[in-house]
Each structure stands twice: as structure tokens, then as C-alpha cells.
Amino acid sequence: MGARGSTRAVGVIGWPVQHSLSPAIHNAAFAALELDWVYVALPVPPGSLAEALAGLPALGFVGANVTMPHKTESAELIADLSEDASRLRAVNTIVVGPGGLAGHNTDVPGFDRFLRGDAGFDPTDRSALVFGAGGAARACALALARGGATSIVVAARDATRAADVVSAVEGFGAEVRAVGFGDATGVAADLVVNATPLGREGELLPLPALTPETLVVDLLYLPSTTPLQQAARDVGASAFGGLGLLLHQAALSFELWTGRPAPMSAMSAAALAELADGHLDA
């Protein structure tokens, strides 16, 4: 469906953003539901985010996704934040309304949907080890704490950044502590999550002993089998890549904008086709 004067527009703000999977995912969803909408890449260099956000209503955009490196600054610039966006100090979805911009974070419910629906994992009374201290790690930790996990260990190279993860999940009853990367090998956990870029070039994390009962989730989706996933499968453990989270957070963004349930099968097929063609980034 070609864009017309009546076409509703959304997009993804990032830098760089040319290899994003999001346009293919969302445009496939719009086509599947025969919606007169279009999703475009919006490359915004550092230092220009405030101007870009101010331009969204003026250009008639219904909303936007936000990706690296603008998630944290978006939370600083947008006054109307959801509870999750406020806790994480990170926005990945913007809704443009009559009153201006509203900032949301769909990574948290997206990770919960992925864990329960795709991986069959209920976090209640379970333990987790999360590698990383950035926005993705904070979102995963918050989803786990809200989902009833009793213990969350955050492994990070920078202890001060790990403190940000701990503060993001305060108030949910989970025991949350930070350790250095090297100390992660001694952590026993039902779930291990990699929320770092390590593994993209073949690096292996300092893993604890994995068992067939361990669930492993690597938020990377390239390479298709990361060193962490291979290590899990070598001991008979279940292992998932990051495409599931990408799709579920995209579906939640779609629902915020359109008010319609997202056509997950069409979105998944589009993502897989783009990956087969060599696309590299979310």
C-alpha cells in the first residue's frame, strides 16, 4: 500500500538506524491488517534529539520507536512517562497525542511476554543472573522482579552502572545484588540472560555451571547461534536468542499506536526474511 495524504506515519529514531529491522516488522504488520500506515527510519544524530522530538507532532507522526543512543535522553526530554519508562529512565516507544508526547518502555512487558509465552518460563520464586547494566539489562531485571523472581544477580564490569539496575527494581521483594563479571561463575541461577554485546564477535561470558534445567536467553540475535547459546545446548539446556524480545516489544508498540492486536506471525516472518538478507540491527 503506497503512502497517501491520509497515511499515518510512525518511525524509529536512532543513530545509526539504516539497518533496523523495525520498518520491515511494522510495515508487514500494517499490510497484514490492511492499515494505511507507514513506518520509516528516522536517523537522528546525537545532539539533535530535542529538535527531532519537537518535530514529530508538527510532521503529523502518530508515534515513534526510540533506539540507541537516544533512549535515556528521550526519558529526560519527555515529561509524560509511563511507570516503566520512569523507573528505567529509558523510552523506547513514543505516542503522540493531543497533549503532546508520552514516553513508554515496552521492553519490560515484552520480555515478560517472551519468557512466559515463548520460553515457557514463569519467574515466580525463581533465580536469575543478568549480564549487563544498560537499558536492556534494567528492563529484563524489572520484568523478572515484577514477575515474582526471588533472586536477581547483576553481573557488570562497572559496579556503578550495576547500581542503576538494582535501583530500578526496588520495591518488588526480589533480592537484587551486583557482582563483577569474574564473580558470575559462582552464581547459581535458574535463568541466565546476556544483555551485553559480548558474543557478537565470538566472545564467551564468564558463565556459572549450566545444567539441563537452566534457561539461557541471549538478547543478541546475530549470530544465529551465539557462544552462550552453544554452551547451553552443549549441556542440554534450553537457549533462546533475542528475536523473541524484539518481536514482543514491537508488538506492544504496535498496540499502543493502533489499538489493535499485533499480527505476530506476519511480524516474525518479516524479521526472519530481513535477517536472511543480512540486516544486522534492531
DSSP 3-state of 136:
helix
C-alpha cell at 74: 528521550
Q: Choosing from 22, 29, 39, 71, which is the catalytic residue? A: 71
C-alpha cell at 139: 528492563
| Angstrom distance (rounded) from CA 64 to CA 26 | 11
Q: How far is CA 261 from CA 32, 224, 258, in A?
A: 12, 28, 8
The kind and range of the H/E element at 153 are: strand 151-156
| Residue among 127, 124, 113 nearest 214 (CA) | 127
Q: What's the helix, strand, coil split of the chain in %, to 5?
A: 40, 20, 40
- What would the DSSP string read from start to end of 72-90? HHHHHH-SEE-HHHHHHT-
Please confirm, yes or no, whether 71 is among the known catalytic residues: yes
State the residue for C-alpha cell 537452566.
Answer: 214
DSSP class of residue 129 equals E
The kind and range of the H/E element at 238 are: strand 238-240
State the residue for C-alpha cell 539497518.
Answer: 19
- H-only helix segments in 107-149: 107-113, 135-146
State the residue for C-alpha cell 508520552.
Answer: 102
Active-site amino acid positions: 71
